Amino acid sequence: MGTDELTPLVEEIKRHLEGGGHEVDLVAAPQPWPRAGRLVGEAVASGKSQAGVVCCWTGTGVSIAANKVPGIRAALCVDSATATGARRWNDANVLALSLRLTSAEVAREILDAFMQTSADPNEAETLSELS
């Protein structure tokens, strides 16, 4: 997990993930958003982490930074349906969240959807075109 600022939402995200049995490594907190996104992307791409969560004010900057790392598919999600689709159809491996727009309740719903959804194997051919 990485963020450009430590907020109550960041603490809630970490607490919720740990409560769900996930090990959370806060690799970049606080760091400038480009570094936070890159560090989380590198952790996921290297296999150190199975998935990543990045946060900044809008969520856009960290998603762009993470997506610059080869092998990363970061998705900025604002609701659980988008998170489910990002995992199922796009095999997203990094979740980006907006610190400005995301409430703790919505963050929990998004995190659960993202972490509990697997990629659709029928999408593998489509995803291979990204390589």
Which residues have a catalytic role annotated? 56
Tokens of 9: 């939402």
Which has the closest alpha carbon to 96: 126, 66, 124, 71?
Answer: 66
CA dihedral 105, 109, 114, 115 (to 10 degrees): 90
Terminal-to-terminal C-alpha distance of the chain: 25
Helix (H) or strand (E) holding 60, with range, is helix 60-67
